[in-house]
Chains A and B, each alone.
Chain A
Amino acid sequence: MKKVTGISGFLAALLALAVSCKKSSTDGPGPKPTDNTPTPLQWTKPSYFPDPVYDLSKNPLTVEGVELGKFLFYDGILSRTDNIGCGTCHQQQAAFTHHGHDLSHGVDDQIGTRNAPSVQNMAWNTSFFWDGGVHDMDMVPPVPIQNKVEMDERVGNVIEKLKKTPVAGAAKQVDYPKMFKAAFGSDSITADRMMKALSQFMMTMVSATSRYDYFLKGDASALTAQEKDGLSVFKQKCASCHTGELFTDQKFRNNGLVPNRINDQGRYTITLNADDRLKFKVPSLRNVGLTAPYMHDGRFTTLEQVLDHYANDKPGSKDSIYVSPTLDPMLNVAGQKRGISLTSAEKQSIIAFLKTLNDDDFIKDKRFSDPGVGTSF
């Protein structure tokens, strides 16, 4: 470092010292506050949910950040072909899944190998995707963006495209530099900010206003007698995996699905551990009545089919539970028929109960809706 010499240098340094030391007592590191300081957004946890897993202190929600995240979520600019956004395969009316699609459907009509999972209550996820490969919400968006059969784009290129908005003559005039400035205080568009904004939006997507939630909060009339029966059977026979108020233990399990041509090895592809073969993440059952088709490959189109699989009771048909070394022990109890024993009435009541997890407010909430930049097919 160059030495400051002479009286003038000394005085200048002294002045700088006085000014800067005083400043340090009030300001932390960060850009100078300006008129466009984003407005903090209060995030409240439903009282009966566990503490969130996502560290909101590293990415405090703001009105502008969430708004930016919503535009990014729906805008097809994230894809190579500029027409597939997150919202294309995560549609609100289907609790942010791809209604009618067993496997994900991406650019150039390409088909993936897994069913698009619901985007809801992301704040509580300990891992993401069917194989749990990603552990942090901020690292989720690049996966579909850079997947060849989903959005087939490079994040670096998305950033360049965002910087060039608004595009003259484009049908949708979105000014991302302006929105980034509103959300983060300066118009610098970076991947880190983009991921943070998307996370902010997805943090707000909390589903906790189903009829079941009203029942939990003390409204005994929110569920019918059959639904209450279903709840009690569910607790006995399903809740060891679909645990708690988020209805998942977040573990990876092999539920005995017969492998098909895709030959998806699930969690094994992440860990390369033979004990993880054919294991997939136990999904939350919130909004399950809206998210058909089911399973990691969307092989079942109705909840009846799902329960028939677990009950393993189709007369005359083959054993529906595929036996392999990693089959979940709860489906393979010694001395019992494989699967979970369920009567026909129990199945019906479980399904009646599961449908009380449908959250109409969540799927109609304008805060989560396409702001007019989305594409659906």
Chain B
Amino acid sequence: MQTSFYRNYMMKRTFSWLSAWALASGLLMFSCSFPDEDDDTDPIETGTIQLQFDNIVGDKDLQLDSTRYMNAAGEDFTVSKLNYYISNIKLIKLDGGVFTVPQDSSYFLIREANKESQKLTIRNVLTGDYTGIEFTVGVDSIRSVMEPDSPGRKGILDIYTGPTNEEAMYWDWNPGYIFLKLEGSSDSATTANGKYYYHIGFFGGRTERTINNLRTVKLTFPGQKAIVTTSVVSNVLIQADIQKIFNGPTQLSIKKSSALMFTDSTKYVADNYAGMFNVKEIKIK
């Protein structure tokens, strides 16, 4: 299970601050602030929802390296790496009401090579019947421009340690997260090593406006509701069809573009992958 960055951060903090002084200051906060008794009589009930991401190619489960696929341009390709960020998750109710997942547990890095990363467990969800979901593919500009040492940039968003650093999901020379990284081999690739590289980033620019490849995805649950109660956990299976990265509103060719990273054309890739998600089914546990 992938925990939220805030949770990770708090754990690290707890260990590093585990001193008598820290305990004393904890008591200070408690004892001097005189918390309102009403806090304890909060009637809001919450539960848990799971979002299971499954990367597929057409109608088959994606296999890293071993399987050769064919895109609509008639080019063969394998996938050696597929990572993308999912963030700013909102759950939508039948009546149009929206539950926004708190920012401190709304950032995830899906990695095809890491099964655990594909299962998002979101706690403290307001109970109710949900009929749709909205999320961002990528990391929004607010987090992108935060100081790297701020709490909001720890956990999964930590650019110096952990998955983001290990998977090089960050451009440090042009600071910003790589929202989606797709790499593999293709006989059509024009690179010396026969590989293709799609690294899609750009959040809109810090000091000057740049292109903005953040995309919001809105999905409706197919004829089924995701029920969240204090005891019932719904598991929403979201499929991402990698074929659609090549074959969406714009048909991409590995031969024409074996590397898409720092060009305007990356926006076509972002438009394509914004359409690769669909909700396959919901399991109620």
Contact = CB atoms under 8 A, between A and B. Distances in A.
Contacts of B21: 27, 31-32
Interface in B204-240: 205-211
Contact of B28 (A23, A196, A272): A23
A29 B17 CA distance: 11
29 contacts: A16-B30, A19-B24, A19-B27, A20-B25, A20-B31, A20-B32, A24-B25, A24-B32, A32-B19, A32-B21, A133-B174, A134-B174, A134-B175, A135-B175, A135-B207, A138-B148, A138-B149, A142-B160, A142-B172, A155-B159, A156-B166, A186-B16, A191-B161, A192-B160, A195-B149, A269-B174, A272-B211, A272-B263, A272-B264
Contacts of B262: 269, 272
B103 interface: no
A23 B32 CA distance: 12
Contact of B165 (A127, A154, A196): A154
Contacts of A134: 172-175
Contacts of B149: 138, 192, 195-196
A147 B32 contact: no
B181 to A, nearest CB: 15
Contacts, number: 113
B208 A139 contact: no
A78 to B, nearest CB: 13
- Interface range on chain A: under 10, 10 to 19, 20 to 34, or 35 or more? 35 or more
A16 B27 contact: yes
B11 interface: no
B206 A271 contact: no
Contact of B27 (A20, A29, A156): A20
B31 A16 contact: yes
Interface string B231-257: 000000000000000000000000000
Contact of B148 (A20, A23, A139, A159): A139
Contacts of B16: 186, 188
Contacts of A146: 168, 172
Contact of B159 (A127, A136, A142, A273): A142
Contacts of A345: none
A162 to B, nearest CB: 12
A280 interface: no
Given A134-B173, A195-B160, 20 more contacts: A16-B27, A20-B32, A21-B31, A23-B24, A24-B25, A133-B174, A133-B175, A134-B172, A134-B174, A136-B147, A139-B172, A143-B173, A146-B172, A154-B168, A156-B162, A159-B161, A271-B209, A272-B202, A272-B211, A273-B210
B265 to A, nearest CB: 10
Residue of A19, A20, A269 most packed against chain B (CB within 10 A)? A20
B25 A29 contact: yes
A1 interface: yes
A220 interface: no
A29 B168 CA distance: 33
A156 B175 contact: no
